[in-house]
Each structure stands twice: as C-alpha cells, then as structure tokens.
Amino acid sequence: MQMIIIEGNIGAGKSTLTTQLSEALGAKAFFEPVTTNPYLEKYYADPKKYALPMQFYLMSNRYGLHQEGIEHIWKTGQSCIYDRSIYGDYIFAKRNWLDGNMSELDFENYNNMRDVMLKNLMVPHVTLYLDAKPETCLKNINSRSRGCESGIPLEYLQGLDDLYRDLVFELKQKGSQVVNIDWNEFRPIDYILERLEDQLPGITKPHNQGYIDQIAIQ
C-alpha cells in the first residue's frame, strides 16, 4: 500500500495519468478541484484580491483529502494516488508572493499554517514528477480550452517551473521516493509502470484490484 502524488506544472497532464495509474494499480484516485473551485475564475480576473483566500481554500481541501487517504490506506490496504497534493500547493502560494499578489504578511501566514498541517501528515511514499517544459504545458492548456485558463501567459508557467525544482528537493529531503519523468511527449502507461518498478520493485502489484473509487474534491 502506497501514497503516490503526481506533481507537475499546469497543463502537464496530471489528471489523465492519475486516472490511468489508478486503474493499472488498483488505487483510489484523488483529483484537484478545478470545476468545483469557487475562487478560480475570480482569481484569474483579480489575482491580488483572491490569491490568499484561494490558497487557503485549496490547502484546506488538500489537507482533508490527504487525511482521508491515510485513513483509506490503513482501513483497506489500497494505495492512493493524488493529482497534485498539499505539498505542490506551496508552489502556487510562493509564485503569488513573488508576483506581488500576496503580501509578505500573507505569505508568512500561509507558511505558518502549512507548517502546522504538514506536521500531522504522512509523507508520500512516492512522488511522480512530470517534467514538462513550460512551452509544452502552454500548448496543452490551449488545446484543452478551459475558459479560466485561456489567459495564462508563458512567463507564469516558467515561474512555476523554476519553483518545482525546490519542491522536488523538499520531498526528497522528507523521504519521498521521487521518480522524474520526461513528460514533453506522450508516454504510454506501460512506460510509467516500468519506471516505477525499476526504482520501487513491487509497487506495480495491484492492491484490492476491482475497488477503484475515483473521487473529486467537493
């Protein structure tokens, strides 16, 4: 039984891979709140006003799902897979601070709350990092035509990409097994399973096959 998180830039393809891996591994999948996020469109329209409340909203939701995943693992023995995690949430908070959408005090407040939350959480056993160039992510974003994402500039994606290097380092320091995947072109699910098995023998053996319950953050 494993807790697996999939991290990567906006548009990298995390949701699709989360679905495929949950089916292949017999794992329960958790997805980030895109359609249910009440702040997302407001944030893109006025980031300075909505950056902090949106980050707290997302972090609290991800904290709850992380706890739910821990409980699920212990009760069922089934692995869990996350389409972005509470750890990756930090990338967007720091980007907002660097871009001037959050004040120094706002960012300090966010970090204090994050520290409190992470003290009580299981470190993910595996971090699968989809390493895609910002240009690739922008192309994917434009092709999927989500209205609220239509104005995302390349510079914003480049800024997030820089911060992901720090996140991967942090997760390694905490003891998560990081598997870095070049995600600038399509990779079949068998390729991903082989990479996981190479670094973590036995991880691709399904637990509780047939009990695949994919949910979205509400």
- 3-class secondary structure for 125-151? CEEEEEECCHHHHHHHHHHHCCHHHCC
Instruction: Pick the closest to residue 31 from 21, 50, 49, 18 (CA basis).
Output: 18
Q: Which of 46, 83, 162, 213 is catalytic?
A: 83
AA letter at 49: K
Strands (E), the chain: 3-8, 28-31, 80-83, 126-131, 177-182, 215-216
- Dihedral angle sign, alpha carbons of residues 44, 47, 53, 55: positive
Q: Is 106 a catalytic residue?
A: no
What residue type is assigned to position 55 of the chain?
Answer: Q
Active site members: 83
